[in-house]
A and B are shown apart, each in its own frame.
Chain A
C-alpha cells in the first residue's frame, strides 16, 4: 500500500481513511487477513500504537474484526463495504460541490461540466457556460 500523510490532522484518522479506501477497492479483500500491526506500522512508517489505534477504530466501525487465533481480518459483510464506499463517495462529492460553489457554479452548470468531462470533451474547460 502507498501511504501518504497530511500535516493538519491526526495520523490515525488518515490511516483509517486510507485502509477504508484499500478495502473498498478490494486491495484488502473481504475476509482477507491483514498483516500484523507492527508490520503495517513499519510499512507505513508510523508508530505501532498509532496503527493500533486506527485498527481499533476500524473494528469499532465493523470493517475489520479480530480473532484471537488468526489475527485481524477484513469484514465478510459486503453490505458494510458498500456502505463505506458510499460514505466516501459522499464525502468527496461534498467537498467537490463546495469547491464548485466557491467558483460560483450552479447545479445545472456543474452537471453539464461533469457530463462533458465524462465524455472526454475538454474544450479547454470552456463548455457552454454563460
Chain B
C-alpha cells in the first residue's frame, strides 16, 4: 500500500512557487531520501505531508487520507528546527509524548537516552544543540508510526553523532513504515536509503533506487547529485 501520494501538488507563497505539480508515490517499508539543493521545496513538501501547510492545487494523501488531525496518529515528524519546549526535562518530554501519542514507546526512548548518556533529569535548555537534536530524534523514532518525516535530521551534528543518528533510524523504524529523510548531506545518508527522490525548483527530477543508480551509472548518489545540480 502507498503510504504517501502526491498528485499534481502545487504550493506557492505569494509569487514564489515552492512546489510545481509534484507527482510522487512512496510505498511502505522504504527509507527514502528527499534530496535537493537549498530552496528546492523539500521542507514545503514535508510540511504539506504533515498538514502544516495546505496545497494551492493538487492533492497529497497519507495512507489514502488528506493530512489532518487524524493523520498525526500515523506520522512522526522531526521539524528542521528544534521545536521541543526548552524548559522541560527529558523526563517531562517523555511524559508529554506519552500523553500525545498512543504509539510512543517510552522504554525505547529511555534506552536510547541512557545509551547516549543523557540524564532524564537534565533540562533541554541546558543541553547543547547537538544533544537537543538527538533528544528530539529519539522522541520521534520512539513512535511506531506509518510515516516518519525527518527534515534535516543530521544537519547540526558531528560525523560520529550522524552515524549514531542514522543507526538509530535503521534500528527503530517499523519495517512496514516509510521513512522520508530530507537532507543535502548525501554521502552520509546514502548507505541507509532504499530510494532517492531528487527535487529541484519545486519539481521531482528523478526517483530511483540507490542500487539502480550505482548499478546503471557506476556512481554514488552523491556523485550523481553533484552532476545533476552542478552550479
Contacts and interface: CB of A to CB of B under 8 A. Distances in A.
A42 B163 CA distance: 10
B211 A11 contact: yes
B218 A9 contact: yes
**Chain A at the B interface: mostly helix, strand, loop or mixed?**
helix
Interface string A94-110: 00000000000000000
Interface string A24-41: 000000000000001001
Interface string A1-36: 000010111111000000000000000000000000
B210 A11 contact: yes
Interface stretch (A45-53, A67-75, A122-130): A45-53
Contacts of B223: 7
A54 B193 CA distance: 15
Contacts of B175: 48
26 contacts: A7-B219, A7-B220, A7-B222, A8-B218, A9-B214, A9-B218, A10-B211, A10-B214, A11-B210, A38-B171, A42-B170, A42-B171, A45-B163, A45-B167, A45-B170, A45-B191, A45-B192, A46-B191, A46-B192, A47-B170, A47-B193, A48-B170, A48-B175, A49-B31, A50-B194, A53-B211
Contacts of A45: 163, 166-167, 170, 191-192
Nearest to B212: A10
Given A7-B220, A8-B218, A11-B211, A41 B170 contact: yes
B55 interface: no
* Residue from A38, A41, A46 having most chain B Cβ neighbours under 10 A: A46
A13 to B, nearest CB: 8
B215 interface: yes
Interface residues of B, number: 22
Contacts of B143: none
Interface residues of A, number: 18
A5 to B, nearest CB: 6
Contacts of A11: 191, 210-211, 214
Interface in B1-58: 29-31
Nearest to B213: A10
* Residue from A5, A42, A47, A48 having most chain B Cβ neighbours under 10 A: A47
Given A10-B210, A44-B191, 6 more contacts: A7-B214, A10-B215, A11-B191, A11-B214, A47-B193, A50-B194
